[in-house]
Amino acid sequence: MHCIGMGKVLLNIQSMHCIGMRKMDNRRWQDLEMACLVKVFEKVGMESVLLDVPFVCKSWYKVTLNPSCWQCLIFPDNERTEIWPWDDFECPDFQNLMDRFASEFQIDGDRFSVTTFLKFVINRSSGTAVLLKLPKCCTVETFVFAANVYIKSLLQMDERRWEDLQMDCLVKVLVKVGMESLLLDVPFVCKSWYKATLNPSCWQSLIFPDNECIEVWPWDVSECPNFQNLMDRFASEYQIDGDRCSVTAFLKFVINRSSGHATVLKLPKCCTVEAFEFAANVCPGLVTLSLPGVVLHNKHTNLELIGKWKNLEVLSLGSCLNLAKILAIIQTHCKNFYGLDLSKGFVHEREALSIVKLVPNIKYLNLKGAKVSRDSLVTLLCGCKDLVMLDARDCSGFDENDDELSKLASHISKFMCEGSEFPEFLRGMDNFVLPVDGFSFQQHVEENWDEMLNDLRDAFNDLSNEE
C-alpha cells in the first residue's frame, strides 16, 4: 500500500474511532498514549508522516515530531528502468512530493530547493534513522549533511568512533554516491571514508560529466565545461598545478582507481585517443560503454580495441561514423550485446541496414532526438524482431502519428515516438514501399547491404586515388 493511501486510511480510522470513543467514555483522541501512536506512525511511511498525519489533530502533529517516526526515510523516485545510466536523472514522484509539501505548508516553491527539502526531512530523524534511500536528484551537500547527522548521533549514543564502522559496509554505501563525490567529497569526511574510497569496488561506475549546452557550431572543438570544472576542483582540492593536469592524465588517474573493476564507463566529449586506449587495457570487464564522437572521428582511433570488452552489453555512440565496422566487431567479440544508443545521431538507410545485418537480436535501441528517415525506421522495425524497447521520441524524419509505423512496431512492448515529426520540405521524398504479400524483407536487406558495401569500397578507392 502506498504511503499516501495509508495516510488516508488512518484519517478514516481516526474519524470513526473518535466518534466511537466519545460515545463510550468521552475521552479525547489526543489523550491516547504517545508511545502507541509512535508505534503506529513508524509503519505508515515518510510521505504520510510528512503530509497526512500532521493535519489530523494536534496530538498527531506532536507525535510526528518524535524522531522515532522517521527511522525509515525512503524518498520517492522515478520508477522507470534505466537502460542508459548516464541519462539526466529525473524524479517526477519526488518533485510531486516537494510541490505538495510546499503547498501544504505554504512555502514559496521558487525558494525551496531539493537540498533544503532533503536536509529538513533527514533532520527530523535526529540521527535515529536506520534506513535512508536518497532520490536520484540528491545533491552532494545533502549526502554530506546526512553523513554528519548520523556521525554525530553515533558519537552521542555510545561514543563509538565512526572509523570503527566495518569497511565493507562503507563500501556498499559509497558505491552508490557517484564518481564525482567519491573523488572530491567523500575523502574529506574522515580518514576511514578516505580509505574506503581507495577500494576499487567503489569505482565500478565511471560517468564523467559533460557539456550540457547545445552546440551552435557542431564543427567547433568540443568543450566540456562541467568536466573542466571537475578537473579544476580536483586540482584545487589536491593542490596540483592545473597546468600540469591534462585531460588524458586526469582520465587515466580516475579510470585506474577501478583497478579493472569498472562495469560502466562514459567518457567525456573532450576524451583523447590515449585515454580511450588506456581504458580498453585497464577495464576489461565493462558492461556499459559510452564513446564520444571526438574519439570515433579521430583517424588514429583503433576501433578494434572495442573487441576487448567481451562482456559488453550496452554501447552508446556520440556519432554514427563507422557504425558498420563497430557493429561488426561487436558481432564477433561481444556475445552478450543487447543495447545500442544512437540518440541525437544520423540514422539513415546505411546505418539501419548495419544494425539489422550485424546485431539483429538487440533488445534495446535508443534513437531519441536523432535524424531518422522513415525508410530507416521501417528497416529497423522489420529487421529487429527481438526489440522490447525502441525510443524514437523527438526524432526528425517521420511522423509520430504514422499508423503504418505503429502497426509495424506492434511487436515491441515499449515503442515511444512522441514528438517526432516529418518536416514539410521532406514530404514526398520518402518512397519506401511497406511490406506487402510476396515482399521478402530479407532479400531487401541483402540487396541493399551489398549495394552499400560497394558504395563504401568505391568511396574508399576514390579517397585513395585523391591521396
Q: Which residues pair with 366 in a beta bridge?
A: 341, 391
Question: What per-residue string of b and e applies to 3-16 under the rule 16 or more CB within 10 Å gives b?
Answer: bbebbeebbeeeee
Q: What is the pLDDT of residues 355-367, one digit of tens each?
A: 999 999 999 999 9
The amino acid occupying position 107 is I
Residue matched to cell numbers 515516438: 417
8 Å CB contact between 247 and 271 = yes
Model confidence at 290, in pLDDT bands (50, 70, 90)? very high
Model confidence at 381, in pLDDT bands (50, 70, 90)? very high
How far is it, in rounded angstroms, from Cα 195 to Cα 179?
15
Q: What is the pLDDT of residue 95?
A: 81
Model confidence at 333, in pLDDT bands (50, 70, 90)? very high
Q: What average pLDDT does this structure show over 36-64?
A: 78
Q: What is the pLDDT of residue 186?
A: 83
Q: What average pLDDT does this structure show over 379-401?
A: 93
Alpha helix stretches (DSSP H) within 198-224: none
Q: What is the pLDDT of residues 131-163, one digit of tens each?
A: 788 887 887 788 878 877 765 554 444 444 555
Per-range mean pLDDT, top range of 104-118, 223-237, 301-315: 301-315
Report CA dihedral (184, 187, 189, 191) to the nearest 10 degrees.
-160
Average pLDDT, the chain: 77
Q: Is a pLDDT exceeding 60 seen at residue 24?
A: no
Smallest CA-to-CA distance from 362 within 386, 378, 332, 383 is with 386
Tell how strand 364-366 and strand 371-372 pair up.
unpaired
Q: What is the pLDDT of residue 388?
A: 94
Q: What average pLDDT does this structure show over 67-91?
A: 64
How far is it, in rounded angstroms, from Cα 345 to Cα 367?
7
Smallest CA-to-CA distance from 372 within 408, 354, 403, 399 is with 399
Q: What is the pLDDT of residues 239-257, one digit of tens each?
A: 888 677 889 999 999 999 9
Alpha helix stretches (DSSP H) within 270-348: 273-282, 293-297, 323-333
Angular region, 38: left φ>0, alpha ψ -120 to 50, beta rest: alpha
Three-state DSSP class for residue 252: helix
- Euclidean distance between the first and the last CA atom of the chain, given in angstroms as a whole number: 70
Model confidence, pTM: 0.62
Task: Express as a percent the part of the chain with pLDDT over 70.
Answer: 72
Higher pLDDT, 227 or 280: 280
Smallest CA-to-CA distance from 91 within 58, 134, 49, 125 is with 134
